[in-house]
Each structure stands twice: as C-alpha cells, then as structure tokens.
C-alpha cells in the first residue's frame, strides 16, 4: 500500500472542524448577533480556544513532520521515500509499533467531542534505534494498515489527549 499526503486526506481530517465552523457561523447569524467588535470577540473566543487553535497546531505539526514523505507498506517491510531517496526497513528490523491516539479513537468510538480526535500517529522503532512517524495525514486508517501488515510485531496503543508528534 502506498501512503502519501493528499488534499483529500487533509480535508477528511479537517471535515469535523469545517462542519463545526459552519454550524457556529449559522448559529451566530440565526441569533442575529451584531457585528460589533466586542460581541464577535466574546462569541469567537471559546470557539478559537476549544476548536480552531488546537486543530491548527496539530494540523501544522503533523504536516511539517510528514511533508515530502511517501511510504510503501507491505508484509516485507516499509519503504520510506524522501526526495527520491528510498530507505527500506524490513519487518525483521522493526522492534515495535506504538499508536498515539485519543481515547475515542482508541476505543474505536464513532462519537467525537472535539475535531482534533481524528488526528493520531504511529511511532515505529527499529532495532537500530531509528524512529519513524506515520501520521493520520497519510491515511485515516493507518492503525488498520499497520496491524494487518505486521501482525507478528509488538503493537501498542497509548491514549493521548493532544496527539502532537514530538521528534
């Protein structure tokens, strides 16, 4: 399976925020809030703090850590391509895979409280101590892809509220 960042994957990750933003703007229009500076600030501050700013930070973090990378994953291993340079990591060299995901994604729940709950990533540690990050930017089902291809490996899932890639 070839995994790369596409506009469609980014829109799928941002879809919750886009729907929430549309509903929020519709609510402001329906409530006939005047466009005075103070009222807009009062009504926009909770939205910005709870939804927009966390998504912007996580989205940029995942994008910066993932841009320009293409992964090819199959049962034999992972091929990581960066600027036409390929690195092959065979399955025998993969020590463990750890998924960092929000509790709702961890439970595979359809209920989402916040738009940033769609973001998660896999940290792959090799036997020679290299660390590879594959985020949900490449596929919204990256956990399923890796679990199917690497059944015999040590796969862990950890809960995190705010899934930033720290590298």
pLDDT digits (tens, 9 = 90+) for 129-154: 899 999 988 888 888 888 888 888 88
Distance (Å) of CA 108 to CA 111, 121, 159:
9, 15, 12
Total structural domains within the chain: 1
Q: What is the pLDDT of residues 52-91, one digit of tens each?
A: 888 888 889 888 888 889 999 988 999 999 988 999 999 9
* Average pLDDT across the chain, whole number: 84
Cα–Cα distance for residue pair 153/77, rounded to 1 Å: 11
Domain around 139: 1-167
pTM of the model: 0.82
């Amino acid at each position: 399976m070839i995994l790369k960042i596409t506009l469609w994957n980014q829109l799928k990750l941002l879809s919750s925020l886009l729907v929430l933003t549309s509903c929020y703007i519709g609510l402001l229009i329906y409530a006939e809030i005047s466009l005075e500076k103070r009222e807009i600030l009062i009504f926009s501050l909770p939205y910005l703090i709870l939804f927009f700013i966390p998504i912007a930070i996580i989205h940029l973090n995942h994008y910066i850590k993932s841009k320009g990378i293409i992964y090819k994953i199959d049962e034999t291993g992972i091929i990581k391509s960066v600027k036409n340079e390929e690195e092959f990591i065979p399955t025998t060299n993969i020590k463990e895979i750890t998924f960092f995901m929000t509790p709702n994604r961890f439970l595979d729940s359809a209920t989402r409280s916040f738009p940033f709950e769609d973001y998660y990533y896999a940290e792959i540690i090799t036997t020679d101590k290299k660390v590879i990050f594959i985020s949900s930017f490449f596929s919204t089902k990256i956990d399923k892809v890796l679990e199917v291809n690497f059944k015999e490996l040590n796969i862990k899932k950890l809960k995190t509220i705010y899934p930033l890639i720290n590298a």
